[in-house]
Amino acid sequence: MTAVAVATKTLLEVRGLEVEYGRVRAVDGIDLTIDAGEILGLAGESGCGKSTVANAIMQILRPPARIVGGSIRFRGEDLTAMSTEELRRFRWRNVSMVFQSAMNALNPVMRVGDQIAEGPMAHMGQSRSQARARALDPGPRMAEWCRTGARPVSPHSAGCSSMADPMPAGHWE
Ligand SMILES: Nc1ncnc2c1ncn2[C@@H]1O[C@H](COP(=O)(O)OP(=O)(O)OP(=O)(O)O)[C@@H](O)[C@H]1O
Ligand SMILES: [Mg+2]
Which pLDDT score, from 0 to 100, does residue 132 have?
A: 82
Whether ligand 1 lies within 6 angstroms of the CB of 57 is answered as: no
Whether ligand 1 lies within 6 angstroms of the CB of 52 is answered as: yes
Nearest atom of ligand 1 to the alpha carbon of 45: 25
pTM summary value: 0.76
Structure confidence by residue, pLDDT tens digits, 15-38: 999 999 999 999 999 999 999 999
Q: Is the pLDDT of residue 171 over 50?
A: no
Q: Which amino acid is at 143?
A: A
Nearest atom of ligand 1 to the alpha carbon of 53: 18
Which pLDDT score, from 0 to 100, does residue 165 have?
A: 44
Beta-carbon contacts of 141 under 8 Å, excluding residues fewer than 6 positions away, are: 171
Return d(Cα 152, Cα 5) in angstroms, integer.
Answer: 49
Return d(Cα 149, Cα 152) in angstroms, integer.
Answer: 10
3-class SS of residue 142: helix
In which band, very low, low, confident or very high, does the pLDDT at 116 lie, cut at 50, 70 and 90?
A: confident
Question: In the chain, what percentage of residues exceed pLDDT 70?
Answer: 75
In which band, very low, low, confident or very high, does the pLDDT at 138 lie, cut at 50, 70 and 90?
A: low
Other CB atoms within a 10 A radius of the CB of residue 45 amount to 7
